[in-house]
């Protein structure tokens, strides 16, 4: 039996060998399909929100690769980030856009990915049962909080609670999926839930919860962030296709950042099955360029760094890894320059303030 260490070394050696001889590997097979994934939604419809939602709904990739005879395959698993990690590890995916925490956990477990773009930010909302009397973050102490575990909300909760000097172990966490969260709130088994606008605001409209706290309107810690990653094997085998996929993704980010597209964006996001109205309110007053920025800037890196520290402290990641090696902005910089989009998005510093 070989030890894990030698096994990893061997695997790393094989991977390094493949990276070293891309020409040889590239010649072996022609790409017939590009497989992408984004976080799924409660209704199970194969659509998303944000840049990946635009990319999917406008079928930009399908058009880009039509002439090459390359098919595009989409997955929006309900298991969101953790399920995407499994698919990536199994070699069933080439690209994925998903939340920062499962992203880090996957890389920490050795899933061979590279971050080639950010996917933007979204506010996190805490919806509380009116009877639970939760008005401030500190009120959450000892309360039952529901969200889908292993997702970015794990980190969001921690960063929100730390503002009131609390940690995740000060609340009772219930690992529930969408529909079950609603049932639990209804029956009073759970006091609060954590989610993005489309889920929490929909429950507000039904009168089930009130927004006790949200990171909306500020780069407050706890907002969700995500990465667009590529499987290293795919990138090594198909550098040109990887660049074209990223270029198309950035085109989608650009579309999602133009104010004149705002109403169309809501229509696109509503394809996920969440009420359109929830997206309207979630995006209200926010600059689209802030929400859908693909930049791997100081803000993104600070968020990822906080995520890595958290996952290591929680033993979700057993060995820290080199973030600078994982986050590769060389291709992104090139693509943005090629498209002439250098001034579309403002880079932000670690605190989320615009620089330059």
Partner 1 sequence: MSEISYKSPLAATLSGRFADKAAIAWGRLRDHATAIALGLVVPLGVLALWSYAVQQQWLAEQILPSPLLVWETFFDLLATGELQRELLVSLGRVVAGLVAGGGLGLVAGLSFGLWRPLDIYVSPTIRAICLVPSLGWLPFFMLMFGIGEALKIILIAKTCFLPLMVASYEGLRNRPRKYDEVAAVLELPWATRVGIVIWPSILPSILTGLRLALSKGWKALILVEMISSAAGIGYLMMWGRKAFQLDVVFATIIVIGLVGWLLDWALLKSQMRATGWSFKAVG
Which stretch, 4-12, 16-24, 131-139, 267-275, contacts partner 1 (CB under 8 A)? 4-12
Q: Considering only CA atoms, which of 127, 160, 122 is closest in space to residue 283? A: 122
Q: Considering only CA atoms, which of 207, 209, 273 is closest in space to residue 46? A: 273
Q: How far is the CB of 105 from partner 1 (least distance, A)?
A: 5
96 contacts 76 by C-beta, under 8 angstroms: no
Question: Cα separations (Å) of 255 from 137, 186, 249, 337?
Answer: 36, 38, 10, 16
Give me 314's structure tokens: 């929680």
Q: Which one among 59, 66, 73, 172 touches partner 1, defined by CB under 8 A?
A: 172
201 CB neighbour count, 10 Å cutoff:
24
Site size with partner 1, rule: CB under 8 A: 36
> How far is residue 315's CA from residue 105's CA, in Å, rounded to a whole number?
10
Which stretch, 70-78, 109-117, 247-255, 345-353, contacts partner 1 (CB under 8 A)? 109-117
Residue 167 binding partner 1, by CB under 8 A: no
E-strand ranges in 158-278 read 172-175, 192-195, 210-214, 224-231
Q: Which one among 188, 217, 273, 320 touches partner 1, defined by CB under 8 A?
A: 188
Task: Pick between residue 135 and residue 141 the one whose CB is nearest to partner 1.
Answer: 141
Q: How far is the CB of 348 from partner 1 (least distance, A)?
A: 29
Give me 51's structure tokens: 């840049």
Residue 130 binding partner 1, by CB under 8 A: no
Residue 28 binding partner 1, by CB under 8 A: no
Residue 309 binding partner 1, by CB under 8 A: no
Task: Pick between residue 310 and residue 345 the one whose CB is nearest to partner 1.
Answer: 310
> How far is residue 271's CA from residue 63's CA, in Å, rounded to a whole number?
20
> How far is residue 171's CA from residue 89's CA, in Å, rounded to a whole number?
32
**Which residues, in sequence order, are CB contacts of 112 under 8 Å at separation 6+?**
15, 231, 232, 233
Residue 290 binding partner 1, by CB under 8 A: no
Which stretch, 105-113, 130-138, 211-219, 241-249, contacts partner 1 (CB under 8 A)? 105-113
Give me 316's structure tokens: 């979700």
Q: How far is the CB of 139 from partner 1 (least distance, A)?
A: 20
Give me 309's structure tokens: 């520290």
Q: Which one among 62, 139, 162, 189 touches partner 1, defined by CB under 8 A?
A: 189
Q: How far is the CB of 175 from partner 1 (least distance, A)?
A: 7
Residue 250 binding partner 1, by CB under 8 A: no
Complete DSSP assignment for 250-301: HHHHHHTT-GGGHHHHHHHHGGGSS-HHHHHHHHTT--HHHHT-----HHHH
Residue 321 binding partner 1, by CB under 8 A: no
Task: Pick between residue 109 and residue 355 the one whose CB is nearest to partner 1.
Answer: 109
63-92 mask for partner 1 (x: CB under 8 A)?
A: -------------------x--xx--xxx-
Q: How far is the CB of 283 from partner 1 (least distance, A)?
A: 29
195 contacts 161 by C-beta, under 8 angstroms: no
User: What's the Rg (C-alpha) of the chain?
Assistant: 20
Residue 186 binding partner 1, by CB under 8 A: yes
Collapse the DSSP code of 121 into the 3-class scheme (helix H, G, I; strand E, B; otherwise coil) and give the result.
strand
Task: Pick between residue 51 and residue 199 the one whose CB is nearest to partner 1.
Answer: 199
Q: Which residues bind partner 1 (CB under 8 A)?
A: 1-4, 7-8, 11, 82, 85-86, 89-91, 102, 105-106, 109-111, 149-150, 172-176, 179-180, 183-184, 186-190, 316
């Amino acid at each position: 039996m070989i030890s894990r260490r030698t096994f990893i070394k061997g695997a790393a050696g094989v991977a390094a060998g493949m990276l070293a001889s891309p020409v040889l590997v590239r010649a072996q097979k022609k790409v017939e399909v590009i497989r992408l994934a984004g976080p799924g939604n409660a209704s199970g419809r194969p659509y998303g929100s944000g840049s990946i939602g635009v990319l999917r709904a406008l079928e930009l990739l399908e058009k880009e690769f039509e002439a090459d005879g390359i098919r595009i395959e989409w997955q929006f698993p309900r298991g969101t980030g953790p399920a995407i990690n499994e698919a990536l590890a199994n070699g069933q995916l080439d690209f994925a856009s998903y939340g920062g925490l499962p992203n880090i956990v996957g890389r920490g477990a050795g899933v061979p990915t590279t971050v080639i773009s950010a996917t933007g930010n979204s506010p996190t909302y805490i919806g509380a049962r009116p009877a639970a009397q939760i008005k401030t973050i500190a009120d959450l102490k000892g309360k039952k909080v529901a969200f889908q575990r292993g997702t970015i909300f794990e980190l969001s909760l921690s960063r929100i609670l730390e503002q009131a000097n609390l940690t995740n172990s000060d609340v009772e966490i219930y690992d529930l999926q969408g529909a079950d969260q609603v049932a639990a709130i209804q029956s009073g088994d759970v006091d609060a839930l954590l989610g993005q606008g489309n889920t929490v605001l929909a429950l507000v409209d039904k009168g089930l919860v009130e927004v006790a706290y949200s990171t909306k309107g500020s780069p407050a810690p706890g907002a969700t962030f995500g990465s667009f990653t590529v499987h290293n094997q795919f990138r090594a085998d198909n550098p040109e296709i990887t660049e074209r996929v990223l270029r198309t993704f950035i085109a989608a980010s650009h579309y999602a950042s133009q104010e004149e597209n705002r109403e169309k964006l809501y229509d696109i996001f509503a394809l996920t099955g969440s009420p359109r109205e929830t997206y309207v309110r979630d995006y209200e007053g926010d600059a689209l360029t802030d929400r859908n920025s693909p930049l791997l800037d100081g803000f993104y890196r600070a968020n990822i760094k906080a995520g890595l520290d958290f996952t290591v402290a929680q033993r979700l990641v057993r060995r820290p890894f080199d973030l600078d090696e994982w986050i590769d902005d060389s291709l992104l910089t090139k693509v943005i320059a090629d498209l002439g989009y250098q001034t579309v998005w403002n880079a932000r510093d670690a605190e989320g303030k615009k620089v330059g």
